[in-house]
Structure formats: C-alpha cells, structure tokens
Structure 1
Amino acid sequence: MIVALIIACEIGFWVLLVAGLALRYLAKMPRLGAAVLLCEPLMELVLLVVTTIDLRNGAQPDWKHGVAALYVGYTVAYGHYTVKWLDGHAAHRLAGGPKPPGAGYGRARAVHEWKLWLRTLLAAAVGIGLLQAAIWYVGDAGDISSLRGWQAAALRVAGIHALVALGYTVWPPKAPKGAEGAGAAEAAKGTEGAAGAGGAGDEPALSRPGR
C-alpha cells in the first residue's frame, strides 16, 4: 500500500501542477490556479500519516517506509522550487512574461550548484529525521536495520551531490562567445516585457525561481 501511495503522490503532484498552471495562464483564473498549486503539500502529509499508521499497526519497517521518508524529504526541499521554476517558464511562454534566467556560467553557476546542494542537504536532513522518528517509535520491538540503511543512503546522496557542486567550483563552465551580450539583451527585453505585463495586479504572486 505504501508503494502505491508514493506513486499516487508523485502522479498527483504533476497533475495538480499542470492543472494549476493551466488555470493560471490558459483559463485566466490566477487565484484558483494558485489555490490548486497550494494543495501540493497535502499529498505529502497524507503519505506521512499513512506511513505512521502502517507502523503503528505492527508493520515491520522495511524499504517502503524508507522510500516514503526520503520522498517526503525530497518534496519538502524541491517541491516548491519545482513549482516556482515551472511557473516562471509557463508565465514566459503562455503569458508573455520575461524569460527566466539560466543557471549561468563561471562563479554564478558554481553558486547555483551549491544552492541546489543545500536543498539536497535539507531533503536528506528531513528524510533522516523522519527515519529516526520511526526508529524511536519502533524501538526494540522490530528490525530497524532497513531504516538505518536508508539514513546512510541519504547521507551518501548528499555527499555525492557535494562532489558535483565542488566540480562546478573547481572547473566552472565558461560562457560561449557572445553569450554575455546576448544574455544582457535578453534581460533588457525581459524587463520591458515584465513592465508591459505588469497590469495584472489581481494575479497572486508566485515568486520566480532563482536559476
């Protein structure tokens, strides 16, 4: 049941995301679209409650509970970021908004990668915390080796991502020739577009991602 619920939560995340963006920019119902997007965290809450009930009813902790904890951690750290990032691109393509900036080059790209790593670190911390709560809840009554293993896996993922970010710091990608000038022109054009589209004051603000 836990696995099916994780899959349902992942599908539900994208269904709500697409529905919310469609309401905001295609149906011209920004407030309803924002309300739909704000329903995203409810699915993770349901998953957390069901997982707790499953353990309380005597289920032996195994890989399913570990995946559920890390999934909740991932959505806490990256869920809102994903919504903001896609909202920025939807506003650009469907509502004439400014084009969201890319990850950049050089030092800017390295800073971007370290910010992403902080999100991964947050995801690992949340997942490890939930797994530790489950370990304390189960106590000596059950086998907690699987939960300990998932805690170690979360730490490994954070460590690997740190090495990736370090690689971008040591060997940052260089901007291709002419990219800086084109980027400045695009930014100026985006500013003009934002000024022209600024009359929609009744639209609930969803901050744009800092990519």
Structure 2
Amino acid sequence: MELEGKVAYITGGSKGIGLGVAKSLLEKGMKVAISGRNQKSLNEALEVLGYSDNVMAVVSDVTQYADEEEVVRAITARWGKLDVVLANAGVGHFSPIDTMTFDQWHQMINTNLTGAFNTLKATVELLRQSKGYYMTLASLAGTNFFAQGAGYNATKFGVVGFTQAAMLDLRKYDIKVTTIMPGSVATYFNGNEPSEKDAWKIQPGDIGKLVVDLLTMHPRTLPSKIEVRPSRPDLKGN
C-alpha cells in the first residue's frame, strides 16, 4: 500500500497505543481520524498531533454501533474514503472471578469485543471499496491466561478468534485483516502513568512502526496474527 493520502481510522486514539499509531501514520502522509469517548482527551490528542487538514477527532463510544456509523459518515464527508481501520479501544479490570462485578464484566465485553465488531461492521463496506486493511489491538492475554484476568482474558481471546475468522471471511474481497498482540506497553492502561520506569516496555511508537510495516508489506503476504513483546523484561525495575 502506498501510504501517502490514504485514510485511517483509529478507535481509542486519544492516548497510548492509538495516539502512537496516529503519529506514525501522519508522518507517512496519511490522513487520520481518531475517536474516543471524551472530547477533552481528544482535544489534548489534537494538540499533540497538530491541527491540520490531515487530522480529525470524533467522539464515539465503540459499544454503540450508531456512534461508529456517525464516525464513518464524518470521515467520508471529509475525505471520501477509508483505507485502514485499527480497532484499538479497550479497557481492563483485574480481580478474582468471585469478586468481579457484573459492570466490570460487561464493560470489558462491550468495549473490547463488541466494540471491535461494531467498528468492523460500520467500516467494512468502505474497506471493500478501497481493498483496505482492518486491524485489531488484542494482547498476549489473548493466548495466555492468568489469575485475576478471567474477564480480560475472555475478551482478548475473543478478539483474537473474531479477527482471525474475519480474516478468512474478508480476504476474498482483498481486505487484509490482522490482529496485533502486544505484551507490556508503556501506556496509561490500568491506571499506569508512563515514566522512566517504563523504558523496558514496548513504546506506543513501536506499535506505530509495526502498523506501518504491515501496511507497506507486499500484498501477496498477510501476517494475520502478530505477537510482540518486550525484548528485555528482566530490566523491569532497573
């Protein structure tokens, strides 16, 4: 894919991985729309990305299909097409299954899993037209279960399965589909405040570079599921 002038949509794009990917795509000359649930956070992201004709931010709750439809309408009204989608929005609550609340369970299922479905459902026709690329941001928690992770594991295992099945459904339209499964990333996830202590972790810009590499790979090749992890976890705490 020649990236100059292509249009991307990133959910959960106001900070962390979504913001890092947005920066990387803008640097390659793409037009980027980001969404999030909070206008204040989106405004802060626009301050980082820079106000230009190549950037737009739209409030959307991915758990609501109608919100994602509105984002797609806004993107097409401004740029007339859509080439790349990254379903990145996600939340995590970690507790033993016997103390996990119904609200925590449903928030994770609705955001992490149903959100990825809503985003694809709202964008798939445009991706068919552009022979575009749909990606999900899963996690190594999508193949590795752990104590206190029942809800999060369930959603990320689900995202991996959903994305891989969608890949098989959509490749006949020349839509490429990939799930990216990171380990520890230096983001605000789960209340973390990124700082020097996170230097050992994957950085959001590293995921951005990975997305660029996927988009520029020869179309005959599809890395459909990618695990990526810190190379030196032993440096944690140093």
TM-score by length of 1: 0.32
Higher helix share: 1
Structure that is richer in strand per residue: 2
User: TM-score by structure 2 length?
Assistant: 0.29
Q: Whose RCO is larger (CA < 8 A, sep 6+)?
A: 1
